[in-house]
Amino acid sequence: MNSQFDLEYRDASNYRASVTVVVTGEINQDQIDKISRNLEDGMFIIAHQVGLPTPAEQLHNEFGTSDDDHVFTVIEQWEADQPTIADFLTEEPATIDMTVDELAEKIGAASWDVSGEMERQGLLDCLLSA
């Protein structure tokens, strides 16, 4: 059994992009709690900073960037409420080379660098030209 994380990006105009990642291993309650403690506003991460794909890049590749863009990705399991173990479990094979323990550690220890991610995604240039 593995653990699935459903990632979604929504810009200020409600354009959306999503990606599902599966990591190796079954998540446990301690890992859910560790992740929960370090989510921005209870559900957001900066995906690239913890080794996950950034769904916003799908929109950027198709439409470019705009002043509606931001750097945060929602982990959908946290969007409605505190998730349970069952919200993550899947028999699907891992899609990235990371264990659930490694991901929980990375998210739990992250210091979200918003300006660094804005620069990486090219959003600073967009804001300066607006």
pLDDT at 127: 52
pLDDT at 64 over 60: yes
pLDDT digits (tens, 9 = 90+) for 67-120: 888 899 999 999 988 899 999 999 999 999 999 999 999 999 999 999 999 898
Residue 99 is given by DSSP the state B
Q: Does the model's pTM come out above 0.85?
A: yes
**How far apart, in whole angstroms, are the C-alpha atoms of residue 31 and residue 96?**
18
Distances in Å between the Cα of 7 and the Cα atoms of 39, 53, 86, 125, 129 are: 13, 9, 17, 25, 29
Domain residue ranges in the chain: 2-129
E-strand stretches of the chain: 2-10, 16-23, 44-45, 73-75, 89-90
Closest CA to 8 of 70, 68, 82, 67: 70
Find the mean pLDDT for residues 52-71.
85
